[in-house]
């Protein structure tokens, strides 16, 4: 449902979560408190992203992160901002970031720390300095009582089907937060005049088909043969006129796919033989959103959400988008 102009109600993301509280019967507002930490952090990040040329936040820090990637100044700012905003929410027990080697245990939370928050603080780093859309991705798991709380890695390495919630914020021509708690996908636009995320689309559904494919074809020669066969077919008359759109920021490429349909592909390459995208805090949250919107997310052999993670920064191949389009890719690519 698109919430049209006129006398539409102003519903903030906190209000929306409270109304959806029944999915967390014992949360009694706890979850909305947690989400308010994420919305606060992304408002701060947005304010820096939109003034990047005016503040000393462009360029890199000269450091290399656990991924082997040069850390941009805005990467570090986003990472620290999310840690600061989440660390004192009281109900967050463990925080995992793409920028951190290991999970951070929030000792102050103690037994009250019932949630695990995983995030890519600023996805699309290569686009930061050239004013192209970038984003923040988050995933929320519950601390599992049946697992020793001190066994942090076992707590964190949960399959995507265990996610309580997932979402992203895309810092583009407007700042849009998209999230799901397993009860549909909902979108909010940050209204800078009031500093609040306001509901703009509810129960978003992904078109079942879409004539757009999104892939970095520079790596074509090292894609699996089945992916190369799909790309050849998509360019053929038989396919009926696909176009290529590729921003190079997962959040932006997924946001377009969610709204317009199509398929995003990051298959294995010679450089990233297990795919480039990280399972826990990129692929899983996007896969939850895709499936909640009626789409699909596969690693080539099965649902991304059913993968049992074995390492914190594990990567995965990702075929993500309209159900009909993901199925077409898998007709050609059977790893």
> In the chain, what is the straight-line distance between the N-terminal and C-terminal CA atoms, in Å?
38
Nearer to ligand P6P, 282 or 291 (CB): 282
Can you tell me the distance from the alpha carbon of 285 to that of 240, in angstroms, rounded to the nearest whole number? Answer: 31
Nearer to ligand P6P, 23 or 220 (CB): 220
Among 123, 291, 299, 325, binds ligand P6P (CB under 6 A): 123
Annotate 199-220 with b (16+ C-beta within 10 A) or e (fewer): bbbeebbbbeebbbbbbeeebe
Nearest distance from C-beta of residue 43 to ligand P6P, angstroms: 21
Nearer to ligand P6P, 26 or 270 (CB): 270
Cβ atoms within 10 Å, residue 193? 6
* Residue 137 near ligand P6P by CB under 6 A: no
Can you tell me the distance from the alpha carbon of 194 to that of 14, in angstroms, rounded to the nearest whole number? Answer: 14
Nearest distance from C-beta of residue 154 to ligand P6P, angstroms: 26
Nearest distance from C-beta of residue 318 to ligand P6P, angstroms: 9
**Subset of residues 162 to 221 that bind ligand P6P, contact rule: CB under 6 A:** 216
DSSP conformational letter for 66:
T
Nearer to ligand P6P, 85 or 286 (CB): 286
Cβ atoms within 10 Å, residue 192? 13
DSSP string, 216-260: -GGGGGGS-HHHHHHHHHHTSGGGT--EE---S-HHHHHHHHHHH
The encoded tokens of residue 303 equal 């649902």
* Residue 126 near ligand P6P by CB under 6 A: yes
Nearer to ligand P6P, 32 or 125 (CB): 125
Annotate 91-121 with b (16+ C-beta within 10 A) or e (fewer): bbbbbbbbbbeebbebeebeeebbbbbbbbb
**Subset of residues 272 to 291 that bind ligand P6P, contact rule: CB under 6 A:** 276
Contact characters 59-78, ligand P6P, x per CB under 6 A: --------------------
* Residue 250 near ligand P6P by CB under 6 A: yes
**Subset of residues 93 to 122 that bind ligand P6P, contact rule: CB under 6 A:** none
Among 125, 163, 200, 316, binds ligand P6P (CB under 6 A): 125
Nearer to ligand P6P, 9 or 68 (CB): 68
Which residue's entry shows tokens 């999104």?
214
Pairing of strands 212-214, 263-266: parallel
Nearer to ligand P6P, 93 or 321 (CB): 321
Nearest distance from C-beta of residue 276 to ligand P6P, angstroms: 6
**Subset of residues 220 to 249 that bind ligand P6P, contact rule: CB under 6 A:** 248-249
Number of residues counted as binding ligand P6P (CB under 6 A): 9
Beta bridge partners of 117: 95, 140
Contact indicator for 17, 36 with CB cutoff of 8 Å:
no
Nearest distance from C-beta of residue 177 to ligand P6P, angstroms: 17
Can you tell me the distance from the alpha carbon of 119 to that of 326, in angstroms, rounded to the nearest whole number? Answer: 25
The encoded tokens of residue 117 equal 């928050």
Residue ranges binding ligand P6P (CB under 6 A)? 123-126, 216, 248-250, 276
């Amino acid at each position: 449902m698109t919430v049209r102009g006129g006398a539409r109600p102003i519903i903030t993301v906190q209000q929306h979560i409270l109304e959806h509280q029944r999915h967390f019967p014992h949360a009694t507002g706890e979850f909305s408190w947690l989400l308010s930490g994420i919305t606060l952090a992304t408002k701060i990040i947005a304010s820096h992203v939109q003034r990047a040329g005016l503040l000393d936040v462009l360029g890199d820090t000269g450091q290399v992160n656990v991924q082997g990637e040069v850390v941009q100044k805005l990467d570090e700012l986003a990472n620290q901002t999310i840690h600061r905003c989440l660390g004192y929410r009281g109900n967050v027990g463990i925080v995992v970031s793409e920028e951190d080697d290991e999970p951070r245990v929030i000792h102050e939370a103690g037994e009250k720390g019932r949630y695990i928050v995983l995030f890519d603080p600023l996805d699309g780093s290569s686009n930061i300095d050239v004013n192209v859309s970038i984003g923040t991705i988050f995933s929320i798991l519950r601390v599992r009582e049946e697992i020793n709380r001190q066994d942090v890695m076992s707590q964190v390495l949960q399959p995507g089907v265990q996610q309580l919630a997932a979402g992203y914020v895309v810092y583009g021509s407007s700042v849009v937060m998209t999230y799901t708690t397993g009860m549909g996908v909902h979108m909010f636009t940050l209204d800078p005049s009031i500093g609040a995320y306001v509901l703009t689309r509810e129960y978003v559904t992904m078109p079942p088909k879409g004539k757009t494919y999104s892939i970095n074809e520079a790596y074509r020669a090292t894609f699996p043969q089945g992916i190369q066969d799909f790309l050849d077919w998509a360019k053929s008359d038989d396919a009926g006129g696909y176009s290529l759109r590729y921003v190079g920021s997962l959040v932006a490429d997924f946001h377009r796919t969610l709204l317009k349909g199509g398929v995003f592909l990051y298959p294995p390459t010679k450089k990233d033989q297990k795919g480039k995208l990280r399972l826990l805090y990129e692929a899983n949250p996007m896969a939850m959103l895709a499936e909640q919107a009626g789409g699909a997310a596969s690693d080539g052999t099965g649902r991304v959400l059913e993968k049992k993670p074995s390492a914190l920064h594990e990567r995965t191949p990702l075929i993500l988008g309209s159900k009909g389009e993901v199925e077409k890719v898998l007709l050609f690519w059977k790893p």
